[in-house]
Structure 1
Amino acid sequence: MRIATFNINGIRAAQRRGFEQWLRVRNPDVVALQEMRARAAAIPPGVFGGYHLAYDEGTLAGRNGVAVLTRLRPESVRTWSGTALLRAPGETHTDTVDLAPMPLARGLREFADQGRYLEVDLADAPITVASLYLPKGGLPAHLQKPGRMREAPDDGARYERKMRFLDAFARQLARSRRDARARGRDLLLMGDLNIAHTRHDVRNWRRSGQAEGYLPEERAWFDSILTPRTLVDVVRARHPDTDGPYSWWSWLGESFEGDVGWRIDYHLATPRLARTAVAAGTDREPAADRRMSDHAPVVVDYDL
């Protein structure tokens, strides 16, 4: 079973840059998407071909939005908001449906309507697949230096928001993993986590120690959710001692040409599922002018 995760940085822009061709050629069985950035009515007709779509667009216009594409209609769909757009192939309706209530961990309520998390129970495999878009965050107040930042100083507000999310999501993730196990399923969490876990995940790791996404406390949080008995970083398990494969490169300069990237898009699987991975990597485009997004798809083949 071929499963992919892809931060597309806007479905309309990705379509113009070749998303449909990638989907047709790579032919994944399941795709988790982040940053759809579109209201239901603005999703290009036919862009997902023969796939079923489950989508939580959130309430922030032009931002966020997570989805999962599947070949068969999912057995069930869950979101933090309690609603989702569900479309079969060929459908164009924009009506969302109310889903069964999903208990939320303490602290997640402030993020529930932002279109950051959606999970589905696959109909053709005992797997719960989740798509996550984790907040980018920022620098803590003591590291913010006016004039040396792309964004205006905020006294650490974006950093504090991300840390609140991480604290709450760790509890929610443990719950989702236990719930999947109770249903006889493995859990596969995919998405843009906006954290590079180790020095192998950042090309310029020595200069990134005080950069958002590679802060010591962010990396320590990542350590806490990965253990041999809970979740495994599938791509890193397949490439244990190599730099990359990176999944994000800045649009600026020649970061892509020089492979000056970050690995911030992941497949995190329960151990039984992780052991079935036979191939894993990123679909890095051959040239900068052929990029569909500032991210690349991360694709894993699981021999179920």
Structure 2
Amino acid sequence: MLRITTLNVNGIRAAFRKGLADWLKNQNSDIVCLQEIKIQDTDLTDEMRHPDGYTGHFHHAEKKGYSGVGLYLRQPADAITIGMGSPEFDAEGRILRADWPGLSVISAYLPSGSSGDERQTAKYRFLDLYETWLEGLMREHRDTGREFVICGDWNIAHHEIDLKNWKGNLKNSGFLPEERAWMTALFGQHGWVDVYRRLHPDTTGEAYTWWSNRGQAWAKNVGWRIDYHVATPGIAAQAQTATVYKDERFSDHAPLTIDYARN
């Protein structure tokens, strides 16, 4: 099996203080995709940079304490690529790609628009650029057979079953009609696959990966499913199991792990 885990750590330093390194040792993932690391390169400790058995790669935001993505790899990649060619959003540390023969795994952290209209407008601007970039990846897949798995915090819940209080969030960022329609097009006309939903088409509460820090959301499981594995059809069809880990809390997000059969 090829085991891939994604986790928005909401600050890598805090996640390591809460025991993430020990969990990684026991989790035995081949690839770990991190989002919202909120750290600069000079502040990474050796343990954060290279946890036991892993080599770390990072794309830091220029702004301190903000955004940033990472990859922990058990096997060296042939190539590591930072960003998607957008000066505005690459400066925020949102995309990191690792390539092996026939396979690319990408850690992605999409913007949130919850802080106000300005950031929601930026989110839509990102989605337009990201869609074009994803079309390029799909062309590469069709032309060469390369499979892609894009893991991360997409900051959009696609369907009503993807969050507890969907009626109360119809006008809120992360569940707006325009955002959901964008996801529908991604999984429809663009040909990408929501791997978790391929395995668990009807799961509700067990599928949630993020909980607000307000109002006992975690205790009451008032959550959202906004962390995804989004893949090209070939490797998506190889997915065997998908689990959301909730026994420990390293962040306001939970790790999502999917096992794929190796060809």
Give the TM-score normalised by the residue count of structure 1.
Answer: 0.81
> Which runs of 5 or more residues in structure 2 are unaligned?
none
Match in the other structure for 2:36: 35
Matched, 1:293 2:243: no
Code of the residue aligned with 1:11 in structure 2: it is I
Matched, 1:130 2:111: no
Match in the other structure for 2:5: 4
* Aligned-partner Cα distance in 1 for 2:138–2:78: 17
More moved, 219-228 vs 207-216: 219-228
Match in the other structure for 1:302: 260
Code of the residue aligned with 2:17 in structure 1: it is R
1:228 Cα deviation from its structure 2 partner: 7.9
* Aligned-partner Cα distance in 1 for 2:88–2:181: 23
* Aligned-partner Cα distance in 2 for 1:234–1:28: 17
Contact 1:190 1:268 in 2 (8 A): yes
* Aligned-partner Cα distance in 2 for 1:303–1:129: 15
Q: Secondary structure, in 3 states, of the residue corresponding to 2:131?
A: helix
1:109 Cα deviation from its structure 2 partner: 3.0
Q: Secondary structure, in 3 states, of the residue corresponding to 1:77?
A: strand
- After superposition, the CA RMSD in angstroms is 1.6
Match in the other structure for 2:16: 15
* Aligned-partner Cα distance in 2 for 1:239–1:228: 21
Question: Kindly tell me: are residues 158 and 130 of structure 1, through their superposed partners in 2, closer, same or farther at Cα, counting changes over 3 Å?
Answer: same
1:26-79 Cα offsets, whole Å, 9 max, x none, are: 110001100111111211222322211121112011111111111111001111
* Aligned-partner Cα distance in 1 for 2:193–2:249: 29
1:247-298 Cα offsets, whole Å, 9 max, x none, are: 001122311111110000000011110111110021112xxxx411000001
Matched, 1:113 2:91: yes
Match in the other structure for 2:130: 169
> What is the 5 A alignment of 1:93-104?
104=85
More moved, 174-183 vs 202-211: 174-183
* Aligned-partner Cα distance in 2 for 1:275–1:181: 16
Match in the other structure for 2:55: 52
Question: Percent identity among equivalent residues?
Answer: 40
Matched, 1:78 2:96: no
Contact 1:10 1:35 in 2 (8 A): yes
1:95-115 Cα offsets, whole Å, 9 max, x none, are: xxxxxxx6x3xxx33212110
Question: Kindly tell me: are residues 12 and 226 of structure 1, through their superposed partners in 2, closer, same or farther at Cα, counting changes over 3 Å?
Answer: same
Contact 1:6 1:297 in 2 (8 A): yes
Matched, 1:200 2:169: no
Contact 1:228 1:271 in 2 (8 A): no
> What is the 5 A alignment of 1:112-261?
112-122=90-100, 126-138=102-114, 156-227=117-188, 230-244=191-205, 245-261=207-223
1:159 Cα deviation from its structure 2 partner: 1.3
Alignment equivalent of 1:282, drawn from 228, 240, 244: 244
Which structure's CA Rg is the greater one? 1
Contact 2:38 2:68 in 1 (8 A): yes
Question: Kindly tell me: are residues 75 and 182 of structure 1, through their superposed partners in 2, closer, same or farther at Cα, counting changes over 3 Å?
Answer: farther
More moved, 261-270 vs 45-54: 45-54
1:237 Cα deviation from its structure 2 partner: 1.0
Code of the residue aligned with 2:254 in structure 1: it is A
Code of the residue aligned with 2:68 in structure 1: it is G
Q: Structure 1 runs of 4+ off > 6 angstroms?
A: none
Higher helix fraction (1 or 2): 2
1:180 Cα deviation from its structure 2 partner: 4.4
Q: Aligned residue pairs: how many?
A: 258
Q: Secondary structure, in 3 states, of the residue corresponding to 1:158?
A: helix
* Aligned-partner Cα distance in 2 for 1:231–1:174: 10
* Aligned-partner Cα distance in 1 for 2:240–2:217: 30
> What is the 5 A alignment of 1:60-75?
60-75=63-78
Contact 2:7 2:256 in 1 (8 A): yes
More moved, 211-220 vs 247-256: 247-256
> Which runs of 5 or more residues in structure 1 are unaligned?
81-101, 139-150
